């Protein structure tokens, strides 16, 4: 996956401005991975016997999946770049990932899918935070 993200950044016909290309590619990849993992974790939670203990986890997963997907799309566009929108959606994504990681971690010892999902959320939280910092 990273290979294609990187290829698309390298074949972009104009300059990308001051943005750190490596951090950008990592953040796009982390957003896609986190969105998919959260979608799958919400569904795995639905298949657990004690689903009633996991309703907050499912909802947080769904919010995080939607916000990560939107963020991955915004980060994949460079034409007419607007630093404020990028920063705002990265802040929303970072906070959604943190909330979802916090929630999934409370179930990680019981449910392996929550453990894997918490990891994907922490990675994306960090990738968003790093990219925000690099925006200056």
Interacting residue ranges for a copy of itself, rule: CB under 8 A:
1-2, 4-5, 7-9, 11-14, 28-29, 32-33, 36-37, 39-44, 46-49, 51-52, 55-60, 62-63, 65-67, 69-70, 72-74, 76-80, 82, 84-85, 88-89, 91-92, 95-96, 99, 103, 111-113, 115-117, 120
Q: Which is nearer to a copy of itself, 92 or 134 (CB)?
A: 92
Residue 135 contacts by C-beta under 8 Å, 6 or more apart in sequence? 19, 83, 86, 87, 90
To the nearest whole angstrom, how small is the minimum distance from the Cβ of residue 83 to a copy of itself? 11
To the nearest whole angstrom, how small is the minimum distance from the Cβ of residue 134 to a copy of itself? 19
Q: How far is CA 2 from CA 9, 11, 32, 58, in A?
A: 11, 14, 11, 28
- Tell me the Cα Rg of the chain: 16
């Amino acid at each position: 996956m990273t290979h294609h993200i990187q290829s698309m950044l390298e074949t972009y016909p104009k300059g990308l401005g001051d943005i750190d290309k490596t951090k950008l590619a990592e953040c796009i990849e982390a957003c896609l991975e986190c969105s998919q993992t959260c979608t799958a974790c919400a569904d795995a939670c639905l298949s657990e016997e004690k689903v009633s203990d996991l309703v907050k986890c499912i909802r947080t997963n769904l919010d995080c999946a939607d916000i990560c997907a939107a963020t991955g799309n915004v980060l994949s566009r460079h034409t007419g770049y607007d630093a404020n929108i990028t920063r705002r959606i990265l802040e929303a994504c970072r906070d959604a990932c943190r909330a979802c990681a916090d929630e999934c971690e409370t179930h990680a010892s019981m449910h392996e899918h929550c453990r894997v999902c918490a990891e994907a959320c922490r990675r994306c939280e960090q990738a968003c935070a790093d990219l925000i910092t690099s925006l200056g």
